[in-house]
Amino acid sequence: MRRALIALGVGLATLSSGVVTAPAWAAVEVATVKLADTSETARQVAQFWLADDGANLRAATPYTVHTEMAAERSTAEIVPDGKPGSFPPVAAGGPAAPDGTAPTPSGKVYFIGSDNEPHWCTGTAVQGQYRNLVATAGHCVFDVEAPMGALGKWVFVPGHAAGTAPFGLYVGKLGTAPYPFDDVRDYDRDYAFANVYQGVVSSSPGAFTNVGRLLDVVGGQGFAYNQPVGPPVDVLGFPAGAHPDGTRPYSGATLERSAGATFAASVGLPRMDQPVGAESPFTGGGSIGSAWLTGYAADSGLGLLSGVTISVSDTDGDGRYDTGVSPYFGTEAAQVWRRATLNWTGVITR
């Protein structure tokens, strides 16, 4: 997969949901990777995952690359590089699933790893002007085990349920991350956004029906940056791995939620300058890419995305993970997000 470096300076285009506070949209270097850059390629990807009643979805296992860090609380202060700001969430407009499950922005991103096997991370639909944006960890889009390109056959399945796609399967077209993450594996910038085509469901073997734009169907979380460290966040994800002591409290089959305070953290390897910790019992496998939401409302399932889990840690050494780790979402994260919102996608059905 070919990567592209883009330095962008743009003015603020109005998003449909409005803006609370916006940073100066200065030039920012981003790396982009093609996921499925043509409709024909996207149809082949959709067929791979949906064939045989979703056999490859069911066969996928949690991604276990960079799932654990040796983290601890830090006395250092994280100082935002600008004023705090946010963009509001988008409510779902699609119908409930046949079993009555309500549409949700949370789901799983599926892909083929360097081992040529199917894997998944957590992903989240997020606000964007073309209603086609998914947020996750950078290393759940960019292949950090290989010298070039993206993870293969990348798709997003919101409201994942037992290998099915109750609200459609959304094939990725383009991935965007901060350039230093792709260039030098800077884990302070281990976050990415993927633009997805309109969703599809199987209508007959080898044929698909279009279900519409991602946010029109399941809604999307808002986006927040330069937030204070200390207040709690709600973490939403699909943890599935084991704790260091071998216990497995999570199966990865259902969306889990934890709430805990945030704090400045320090980690050993990989080196990070401004990691943020959140009190969370999630295990690493499956929960990588989990959304950190400020102002989360349980009745709507919506809040403001202010971080993503890139790893977990057992900070007190008791054999149980107790902390999720995320890059700090400052002004640069807002600029990268903004760059990703500019990418239109389209449909893959003929």
In a domain, 223, yes or no: yes
Distance CA 314, CA 323 (A): 7
Q: Is residue 133 part of a domain?
A: yes
Query: At which residue do the structure tokens 């066969």 appear?
Result: 59
pLDDT band per the 50, 70, 90 thresholds, residue 23: low
11 burial type by CB count under 10 A (0-12 exposed, 13-18 middle, 19+ buried): exposed
Report, as an integer, the average pLDDT of 229-257: 96
- pLDDT digits 0-9 by tens, 195-230: 999 999 998 887 899 999 999 999 999 999 999 999
349 domain residue, yes or no:
no
pLDDT at 206 (0 to 100): 79
The least confident of 12-16, 29-33, 127-131 is 12-16
Q: What helix, strand, coil percent values describe the chain, rounded to 5? A: 15, 40, 50
Q: What is the pLDDT of residue 114?
A: 93
In a domain, 348, yes or no: no
pLDDT of residue 13: 36
Structural domain boundaries, residue 273: 3-341
Q: What's the average model confidence in pLDDT over 3-30?
A: 51
Instruction: Report cis status (omega within 30 of 0) of the bond before 270.
Output: yes
Asked whether residue 248 is assigned to any structural domain, the reply reads yes
Residue 1: pLDDT band (50, 70, 90) is: very low
Q: 194: pLDDT confidence band, cut at 50, 70 and 90?
A: very high
Task: With beta carbons less than 8 A apart as the criterion, state whether 294 and 209 touch.
Answer: no
Task: Tell whether 309 is covered by a domain.
Answer: yes
Burial of 238 (0-12, 13-18, 19+ CB in 10 A): buried
Task: Please spell the DSSP secondary structure of 67-98, one letter per residue.
Answer: -B--EEE-------SS--EEE--B---SPPPT
Provide mean pLDDT across the span 183-194: 94
In a domain, 350, yes or no: no
Separation of alpha carbons 136 and 150, rounded Å: 14
Q: What is the pLDDT of residue 91?
A: 95
Structural domains in the chain (count): 1
Where residue 19 falls among pLDDT bands split at 50, 70, 90? very low
Please name the residue that has the structure tokens 């609200």.
167
Q: Is residue 331 part of a domain?
A: yes
